[in-house]
């Protein structure tokens, strides 16, 4: 009788400890995500002018994203970026190799509009912030194009420097459907756009490249006021490459991917990144890094979703190690073990 009472007391004392362990583990995971999300003090806010939101990356570059827009131009359609502007002054590069302090702005006049089989993805209502991604990602509604279910996801990290566009395409039919994805862009640098370099190391942008960088040409004072851009369209060794890329050194660079046959029930994702930097070398370094899909570029994507990306090789990236946590059986085993020890101690003391 006495042992049974002590055993009950031991169980009651141990059970909350085991439960607390699990809760602590879960809270730590969420806390880390929130900490990342708040790193730059960014968030989303609602903008006028036809619908929009903004998200700020780790460098303080604020991306303005078209949501419930009324625009009918391809480069300003749903999920494209209307602009990007620094929230603070940065050390911007000069033509002479020095720096000057200014708040670079006007990165885009419409960037990464999505065109599927010749149809704009556009006017699909407001976007929903992804709470599971600390509201750092906007989820856009589905538009059916040629029988394919098309949606977009736009993410800006608080712990890195880029905006990520994901175009999610599902074939709900019983037959394969060919899809051609292309992108329309309008740069803030307008007719002053200069290609700096590309992944092959030259200023000649071709379908063999993975990325290129561009900037607004320097004025007579050797200064330039738009963020220096790194455009990342694909990764090496991916299933889908570029079919065409045009106008890299103009106001309107555009590219199209090779046609892909989406099988019945299959979902594929096309990913794109653009980074803004205060100087040209950093734009190239960051573009080259993003083309390899570091872990930061894959935030808020499950392993299954990463494997759906067809224009980068994501499935081979190492996953972040999971924080070990006790499941139900683990907790029961721990309780039983501690109760057994408790009983042994009680018997010893008697």
Nearer to Ca ion, 143 or 213 (CB): 213
Rounded CA-CA distance 311/235 in Å is 6
Query: What letters, b where the CB count within 10 A reaches 16 and e where it falls short, cover 20-58?
Result: eeeeeeeeeeeeebeebbeebebbbeeeeeebbbbbbbb
Residue located via tokens 């589905």 = 142
DSSP state of 159: S
The CB-of-138 to Ca ion minimum distance in angstroms stands at: 23
> Does position 200 bind Ca ion by CB under 5 A?
yes
**DSSP helix/strand/coil, 88:** coil
Q: List the interface residues with Ca ion, window 75-114 (CB under 5 A).
A: 109
Q: Which helix (H) or strand (E) holds 347?
A: helix 328-349
The CB-of-202 to Ca ion minimum distance in angstroms stands at: 5
The CB-of-288 to Ca ion minimum distance in angstroms stands at: 13
- Neighbouring CB atoms inside 10 A of 175's CB total 9
Among 190, 192, 296, 305, binds Ca ion (CB under 5 A): 190
Nearer to Ca ion, 124 or 198 (CB): 198
Rounded CA-CA distance 59/86 in Å is 8
- Neighbouring CB atoms inside 10 A of 287's CB total 26
Nearer to Ca ion, 54 or 186 (CB): 186
Nearer to Ca ion, 137 or 209 (CB): 209
Nearer to Ca ion, 75 or 137 (CB): 75
Interacting span for Ca ion (CB under 5 A) from 5-13, 56-64, 88-96, 180-188: 180-188
Among 74, 80, 170, 198, binds Ca ion (CB under 5 A): 198
Contacts with Ca ion by CB under 5 A: the residue count is: 9
The CB-of-314 to Ca ion minimum distance in angstroms stands at: 23
Instruction: Name the nearest CA neighbour of 216 among 288, 285, 287, 280.
Output: 280
Q: Which positions from 108 to 147 touch Ca ion by CB under 5 A, shown as an x/- string? A: -x--------------------------------------
Alpha carbon of 64 to those of 83, 86, 99, 233, 336: distances in Å?
Answer: 5, 11, 26, 20, 55
Q: Which helix (H) or strand (E) holds 33?
A: helix 2-38
Q: List the interface residues with Ca ion, window 204-263 (CB under 5 A).
A: 204, 209, 251
The CB-of-83 to Ca ion minimum distance in angstroms stands at: 10
Nearer to Ca ion, 73 or 292 (CB): 73
Q: In the complex, which residues of this chain contact Ca ion (CB under 5 A)?
A: 109, 186, 190, 198, 200, 202, 204, 209, 251
């Amino acid at each position: 009788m006495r042992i049974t009472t002590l055993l009950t007391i031991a169980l009651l004392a141990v059970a909350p400890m085991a439960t607390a362990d699990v809760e602590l583990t879960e809270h730590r995971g969420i806390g880390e995500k929130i900490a990342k999300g708040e790193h730059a003090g960014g968030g989303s806010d609602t903008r006028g002018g036809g619908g929009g939101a903004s998200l700020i990356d780790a460098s303080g570059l604020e991306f303005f994203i078209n949501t419930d827009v009324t625009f009918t131009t391809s480069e300003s359609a749903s999920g494209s970026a209307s602009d990007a502007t620094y929230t603070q002054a940065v050390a911007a590069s000069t033509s002479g190799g020095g720096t000057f302090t200014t708040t670079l702005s006007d990165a885009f006049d419409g960037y990464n509009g999505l065109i599927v089989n010749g149809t704009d993805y556009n006017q699909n209502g407001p976007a929903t912030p992804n709470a599971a991604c600390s509201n750092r990602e906007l989820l856009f509604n589905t538009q059916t194009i040629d029988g394919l279910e098309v949606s977009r996801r736009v993410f800006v990290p608080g712990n890195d420097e880029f905006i990520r566009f994901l175009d999610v395409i599902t074939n709900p039919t019983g037959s394969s459907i060919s899809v051609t994805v292309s992108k329309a862009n309008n740069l803030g640098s307008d007719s002053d756009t200069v290609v700096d370099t590309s992944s092959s190391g030259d200023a000649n942008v071709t379908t063999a490249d993975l990325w290129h960088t561009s900037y607004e040409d320097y004025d007579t004072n050797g200064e330039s006021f738009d963020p220096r851009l790194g455009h990342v369209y694909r990764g090496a060794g991916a299933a889908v490459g570029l079919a065409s890329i045009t106008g890299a050194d103009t106001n309107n660079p555009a590219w199209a991917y090779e046609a892909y046959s989406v099988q019945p029930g299959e979902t594929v994702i096309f990913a794109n990144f653009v980074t803004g930097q205060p100087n040209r070398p950093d734009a190239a370094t960051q573009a080259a890094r993003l083309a390899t899909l570091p872990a930061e570029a894959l935030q808020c994507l499950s392993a299954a979703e990463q494997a759906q990306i067809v224009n980068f090789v994501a499935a081979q990236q190492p996953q972040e190690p999971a924080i070990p946590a006790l499941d139900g059986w683990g907790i029961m085993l721990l309780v039983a073990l501690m109760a057994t020890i408790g009983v042994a101690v009680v018997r010893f003391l008697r």
